[in-house]
Amino acid sequence: MKILELKDISRKETHIYYRRIFNGTAVMELMHKPVEKRIEFIIETTPMGKKHISVSLIDHVEYPLMPLINSLRTKIAELDAEGVLP
């Protein structure tokens, strides 16, 4: 399993400034085939500045969820550090 890209990322407006909610599509390689699944993720900044990322898969995936969610968290953290997220 490999996360190829996150695309169609849009940000939901919220009144809580330390919590950012996004929707998007994750393109991943499962069993040597590219698969697109819809996701929702939240980046919440704690008072000490640490970022907590939670990921929800909207579409059903035929793959163990824990490794998939951990890979998505890593990819989202990279995109956030690069400033690519809207």
Tell me, yes or no, whether 59 lies in a domain. yes
Q: Is residue 21 part of a domain?
A: yes
Structural domain contains residue 20: yes
Evaluate if residue 47 carries a pLDDT over 90: yes
User: Is 85 within the bounds of a domain?
Assistant: no
Q: How far is CA 39 from CA 46, 47, 48, 81, 83, in A?
A: 23, 26, 27, 19, 19
> How much is the average pLDDT of 37-66?
96
What are the angstrom distances between the C-alpha of 19 and each of 14, 58, 84?
8, 20, 17
Show Cβ contacts of residue 59 under 8 Å, excluding neighbours closer than 6 positions. 37, 38
Domain membership of residue 49 as a residue range: 2-80
Q: What is the pLDDT of residues 8-33, one digit of tens each?
A: 999 999 999 999 999 999 999 988 99
Asked if residue 13 is part of any domain, the answer here is: yes
Q: Is residue 42 part of a domain?
A: yes
Domain count along the chain? 1
Residue 86 within a domain = no
Model confidence, pTM: 0.92
End-to-end Cα distance, the chain: 26
